């Protein structure tokens, strides 16, 4: 899967720069940290890759 990033109109450039340079309070990172899933083990990644490469969706 690929994603091409761009803007739909030149006027969106200023809004994009403003959002990219916005300050994010440290408290926000503390609040979202518990929502981050744990990293997957390499064995799980290998099984998922093998399943995807054969056209079979991986098990959850």
Taking residue 43's Cβ as centre, other Cβ atoms within 10 Å add up to 8
Measure the CA–CA gap between 55 and 33, rounded to whole angstroms: 33
The answer on pLDDT for 34 being more than 80 is yes
Measure the CA–CA gap between 59 and 46, rounded to whole angstroms: 12
Measure the CA–CA gap between 2 and 54, rounded to whole angstroms: 19
pTM for this entry: 0.37
Query: For 10-33, what is each residue's pLDDT tens digit?
Result: 888 888 888 889 998 999 989 999
Measure the CA–CA gap between 32 and 24, rounded to whole angstroms: 12
Query: Contact 52/58 with Cβ under 8 angstroms?
Result: yes
């Amino acid at each position: 899967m690929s994603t091409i990033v761009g803007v739909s109109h030149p006027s969106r450039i200023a809004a994009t720069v403003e959002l990219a340079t916005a300050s994010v309070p440290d408290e926000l990172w503390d609040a979202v940290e518990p929502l981050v899933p744990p990293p997957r083990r390499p064995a799980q990644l290998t099984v998922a890759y093998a399943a995807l490469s054969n056209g079979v969706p991986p098990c959850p």
